[in-house]
Amino acid sequence: MHYVTTIKPFYRSILCRNLKFSTHSQKYEFLRELEIDYENPGLFDGNWGGTGQILHCISPTTESVIAKIQTPTVEETIKAIQKSLKAWYYWRSLPIPKRGEVVRQIGNELRRYQIPLGKLISLEMGKILSESYGEVQEYIDICDYAVGLSRMLPGKIIPSERSQHILIENWNPLGVIGIITAFNFPIAVFGWNNAIALVCGNTTVWKSSPTTSLSSIAVTRIISRILNRHNISGSIATLVTGGSDIGKALAFNKSLPLISFTGSTTSGLQVAQEVQQRFGKTILELGGNNAIIV
């Protein structure tokens, strides 16, 4: 079963080529700005780690290895989800405008790193630069939108049949939200989910595509710096990298009341069925993998 876009056989066949980018060369200086090295931890739950399989990140343009990622094991993923759940109890207790202020600062930090993040997307995913910069801008824009929501999330005051009583409608956060993203929008799709989830009082566990995991690491480093400034646990925005086994661990985990999945219709159907079996909720953005002739 596949829950994310896996590395295609063509790319797997060239993993044996000992080619890599020099992260210290002037051309790829933006990698250093984003704290991306040749070897990177693929788990963040407040601390960076991971002892699972090595994932090779390959440029689709040059077929060269950009970097390596040490992915987490399934057991480490489950523990990271539990840490995010513990952090949720604190995060949900903060006033909504306070959560909005944290998201506002995340948006501002993304503005600072929009150019290097865009370059990383182009390098790792293959988009042209203008599209890559625009993708980061989408995350920035949704942060702005979420900040506005933090000042206007509605509730109702409803008349009661009892004398001198009123009924008050209050929306409560769900808990830990699982976010599984595809390769084609490695940052924007996460941003759409993450900014809204945080403002509403939820924490997130992000499972990124294996082919664009460096982008997720770079974004998570940016978010973690903001959380650290506020003395908030980094497990508010947990990251796990890896293959379908990690995606499956999220889909089956009862601690995740909602899974937001972006990917193929085939994988999305599997995710929907597995989450429904435990009476969870899903947000699905699905499509096909179509061949094109240029």
In the chain, what are the domain boundaries?
A: 9-287
Question: Which of 161, 194, 162 lies closest to 176, judged by CA?
Answer: 194
Q: What percentage of the chain reaches a pLDDT higher than 70?
A: 91
Amino acid code (one letter) for 136: V
Supply 172's token pair.
């409560």
Does 13 have pLDDT greater than 90?
no
Its pTM stands at 0.88
pLDDT bracket for residue 25 (50, 70, 90): low
- Look at residue 9 in the predicted model and tell me its pLDDT: 39
CATH for 9-287 (3.30.460.20, 2.60.120.10, 3.40.605.10, 3.50.50.60)? 3.40.605.10
- Look at residue 11 in the predicted model and tell me its pLDDT: 36
pLDDT bracket for residue 10 (50, 70, 90): very low
Cα–Cα distance, 76 to 242 (Å, whole number)? 12
Q: Can you give the chain as a three-state secondary structure string?
A: CCCCCCCCHHHHCCCCCCCECCCCCHHHHHHHHCCCCCEEECEECCCEECCCCEEEEECCCCCCEEEEEECCCHHHHHHHHHHHHHHHHHHCCCCHHHHHHHHHHHHHHHHHCHHHHHHHHHHHHCCCHHHHHHHHHHHHHHHHHHHHHCCCCCCCEEECCCCCCEEECCCCCCCEEEEECCCCCCCHHHHHHHHHHHHCCCEEEEECCHHHHHHHHHHHHHHHHHHHHCCCCHHHEEEECCCHHHHHHHHHCCCCCEEEEEEEHHHHHHHHHHHHHCCCEEEEEEECCCCCCC
| Spatial contact of 34 and 120, defined as CB atoms under 8 Å apart | yes
- Look at residue 24 in the predicted model and tell me its pLDDT: 52
* Residue-averaged pLDDT of the chain: 91
| Token pair 């370059």: residue | 119
Does 115 have pLDDT greater than 80?
yes
- Look at residue 242 in the predicted model and tell me its pLDDT: 96
Using CA atoms, how far residue 25 sits from 30, 67, 218, in Å, is 10, 14, 18
Q: How many CA atoms lie within 13 A of 162 on its CB side?
A: 4
Convert the pLDDT of each residue in 30-80 to its tens digit: 999 999 999 999 999 999 999 999 999 999 988 899 999 999 999 999 999
- φ, ψ of residue 105 to 5 degrees: the values are -70, -30
pLDDT bracket for residue 22 (50, 70, 90): low
Supply 202's token pair.
């939820």
